[in-house]
Amino acid sequence: MTRRRTVFGVVLALTVALVPVFAGDVSRQQADSFVKKVAIINQRAAAPASAAASHRTIVSENEVNSWFAYRGQELIPKGVTEPKVTIIGNGRVMGVATVDLDAVSKKNASGGTFDLWKLVGGRVPVAVTGVLQTKGGRGQFDLQSATLSGVPVPKALLQELVSYYSRTADHPDGVRLDESFALPARIQQIEVGQGQAVVVQ
């Protein structure tokens, strides 16, 4: 379980969040390439720290999306399907996933007249865009926009979705969008370019 959390942590650090049109071709070969690169990143993290030059691992947008399609199903939360990511550049990333809103709606519905959760349900595409900033082994995701089925939604609603689907036994409240986080595997920085990200250890 610890190994799975570490691998998933690297994946989350690379993709950050649940963004828009289909982003290029996917293949089993590219999925395998991504798995190998994650293994290299974890191996470097397990090795003794040294004063040697930093290591840089390039991960492409297509490799990440191929991993989602062919290898990542068991680590993706139940109720979330078809995740895809677009790496725009200059730190900006976009992503989309189909999310089952029924379970979240039942948990958060207040029953009030103006209860927003009474209006949403079913399986819908959730799109998110924002900027990933990383430095010194920590990261921060600055949300720019979020939509459900193409309709803009407030950050508070997106936070409820993220909290629900990122809950674990160790973190029952899930992930907070506005909180900085430690990068896993001794990653110092992730340089988000156009169509690719460079992991610096």
Over its length of 201 residues, how does the chain's per-residue pLDDT go in tens digits? 444 444 444 554 555 433 333 345 899 999 999 999 999 999 999 888 775 668 999 999 999 999 999 999 888 888 899 999 999 999 999 999 999 888 776 765 545 444 555 556 688 999 999 999 999 999 999 999 999 989 999 998 899 889 888 888 888 888 899 899 999 999 999 999 999 999 999
For strand 151-152 and strand 181-182, is the pairing parallel, antiparallel, or unpaired? unpaired
Predicted TM-score of the model (pTM): 0.80
Domain boundaries defined on the chain:
2-200
Task: Give burial (CB, 10 Å; 0-12/13-18/19+) of 151.
Answer: exposed
Q: Which amino acid is at 141?
A: F
Amino acid at residue number 124: V
Residues 6+ apart with CB under 8 A from 183: 13, 134, 137, 138, 139, 189, 190
* Residue corresponding to tokens 């001794």: 186
